[in-house]
Structure 1
């Protein structure tokens, strides 16, 4: 039996379908119709001729990136929407952050730890922390922006809160709400470690 040739035929060497340029015609037509735009209207907005738009939608012409960019701007959509970029993955119903992946802040003396429980994208708007203070430890803060308030709920130990000229002592289960647009201090006045939840609300 004669050995098979190792050469690849021209048909087999052709580019796979995935390497073909994206066809934007159907997507363009759907987006245009969803916005109730005629070919004339989109032509004026995008600066692309009506005949070119018609050819693109009927898959008779493949637009350049510059033309796609103009069309995306005119339609107010990301460039990837016209190029057929895959949609971002759906958010899972439940997201779990492992304990070891929860970021934390510590004082140089190690007497205070703030575990950052809130998502980073909410920083500067709505923040919440798990606060741990060793005996005699303190969390001292300068004034935040006007209108900022903090809510401190004690779980264990005894904490003392000072905001401006006012001071209050808190036992487990108690919550203090106070203005944080002035210097403020949370201090563990006991000898054992204290823990609390700290919520910071910034002005909208």
Structure 2
């Protein structure tokens, strides 16, 4: 009795080609992608040249660093052009709290700009504070209060902002944003990191 032949197993996805294309589209160097993904530059180079097969964990890190779904790195065939307008549903906007549970930050900026240019919607309950350690030298924040009032501290400097006002300040020192009022306060917070 003969054994039926099994169909040949499909080849694994060619992650390297897709990775190189995405990296080029986002104008990222191997160094920058290596830093963002926590994957060595030599490994990235080997993956792009199809000399190494990445683990699922590595592909996941790369997808997160590039701001694309995991399936996009694993997809076969040519990629379609990105849409002219990309929308993010409110429930899909990442949100996290600071050390103060009464503080909430919604991440409005795309992941690929993290570490360069970041922007957030900041919500502080009455008496809440967003306290931060010093960022790298040359970093600055821009805070525009949308409702309520906020106190800004940067090193020894202090300022109170009312609705509609903006503060720009260096954050290469410990800094904090506080809600001194009795109502919820909201603001847009932009963080600029040095190039």
Q: Shared fold by TM > 0.5?
A: yes
Residue of 79, 83, 94 corresponding to 1:88: 79
* TM-score w.r.t. length of structure 2: 0.61
The equivalent of 2:145 in structure 1 is 154
SS state of the match for residue 176, structure 1? strand
The equivalent of 1:193 in structure 2 is 184
Residue of 129, 137, 140 corresponding to 1:138: 129
- Seen in structure 2, the aligned counterparts of structure 1 residues 179 and 108 have a Cα distance that, compared at 3 Å, is closer
Offset of residue 107 of structure 1:
3.0
Q: Which protein has the larger Cα radius of gyration, Structure 1 or Structure 2?
A: 1
* TM-score w.r.t. length of structure 1: 0.58
Taking the TM superposition and a 5 Å limit, the aligned residue runs for 1:78-117 are 86-117=77-108
Once residues 154 and 146 of structure 2 are traced to their aligned partners in structure 1, the CA distance between those partners, rounded to angstroms, is: 20
- Seen in structure 2, the aligned counterparts of structure 1 residues 145 and 108 have a Cα distance that, compared at 3 Å, is closer
Counting matched residue pairs gives 125
Gaps of 5+ in 2: 1-9, 11-48, 52-75
Residue of 112, 116, 120 corresponding to 1:121: 112
Offset of residue 89 of structure 1:
1.5
Residue-by-residue CA offset, 1:124-146 (whole Å, 9 max, x unaligned): 00000000000000000000000
Offset of residue 110 of structure 1:
2.2
Offset of residue 88 of structure 1:
1.5
SS state of the match for residue 91, structure 2? helix
SS state of the match for residue 172, structure 2? coil
Within the alignment, does 1:176 sit opposite 2:164 as a pair? no
Runs of 4+ with >6 A deviation: none
SS state of the match for residue 145, structure 2? strand
C-alpha RMSD of the superposition: 2.0
Once residues 50 and 94 of structure 2 are traced to their aligned partners in structure 1, the CA distance between those partners, rounded to angstroms, is: 40
Once residues 132 and 81 of structure 2 are traced to their aligned partners in structure 1, the CA distance between those partners, rounded to angstroms, is: 39
Once residues 99 and 69 of structure 1 are traced to their aligned partners in structure 2, the CA distance between those partners, rounded to angstroms, is: 38
Gaps of 5+ in 1: 1-18, 20-67, 71-84
